[in-house]
Amino acid sequence: MILAELKAQLAGLSVVDKLKYLADKFADSVIFSTSFGWEDQAITHLIFSNNIPIKVFTLETGRLLPETYYVWNRTLEIYNKPIHGYYPKNELLEDLVNTKGPNSFYESVENRKECCYIRKIEPLKRALQGNEIWVTGIRAEQSQNREDMHDLEWDEGNRLVKFHPIFEWTLEDVKAYIKENNIVYNSLHDKGFPSIGCAPCTRAVQPGEDFRAGRWWWEDQSKKECGLHNTAEKAVANKG
C-alpha cells in the first residue's frame, strides 16, 4: 500500500522535488548508498547541492581502486558534507583471510559470495538499519534483470522502500548531467570501466561486451550479482 501511495504523491515531481519530499516525509530515515560511479556522483550532487537532508554512505570494502578513493576525497572537498563509510567487521574479515587467503574469491562462486557478504552485504545491513527509504543509483538499462524493476520498490530482505531517482535516465543522460554541472567522476569510466567495484574484481569492458562483463569476469554471466540489490535476501539467507 505504501508504494502505491508514494507513487501517487511523487507523480509529476522533478527528481530534486521527489528527493525533498521523501526526506521531509521520512525525516532522518532516508539514506543514499554511493560507490562513486557516474550515477552515484550525479545523485550525490543532487542531494548535496540542494541541501537535501539525506544521509550519504559508502561501503568501504578495503579493496577499492585508487581512483575511487580520489573521487571520494574530492567529493568531500567540493561539497564539505559527510559521506559515512561502513567497514567489514574485523572478526569476519580476519577469519576469512586467515582461513582462505586474501584472494579466495577467484576459486569459486561460493567463496566470492562469501567475500561479498563480509565486505558489502553485512555492512550494508548495518547502514540501512533503522531507515525507511534507501536511495540508489540503479538505472533500468544497466542489466537485463533490472528491466523488470521500477523506480519505487519494496525490499523484503531489508524491510524498507528502495527509490531509484534516475531509473529512467540513459547513460548519455547521466554523462550530460555530469558535464553540465562539472561533477567530479571516476576517471576509470573513460578507460572502459562502466561499472567499478573492488580492484581485484573489476576490469575494463571490451567493445561489444555486456555492461557488467568487467565485474567478476571469471564467472558465468548469470551469476554476476553481488547481492546488494535484487538478490540481497538470497545472499543473506545462504550465509545463515
Q: How far apart are CA 193 and CA 101, in angstroms?
A: 27
Contacts of 188 (CB under 8 A, 6+ apart): 65, 67, 196, 204
**Residue 49, Cα to own-chain centre: how many angstroms?**
20
List CB contacts of 240: < 8 A, sequence separation 6 or more: none
Alpha carbon distance 76, 79 (integer Å): 6
DSSP 215: B
Instruction: Name the nearest CA neighbour of 200 among 89, 68, 106, 95.
Output: 106
Residue 163 is classified by DSSP as E
Whether residue 201 lies in the annotated active site = no
Considering 115, 116, 201, 226, which one is annotated as catalytic? 226
Active-site residues, by number, are: 226
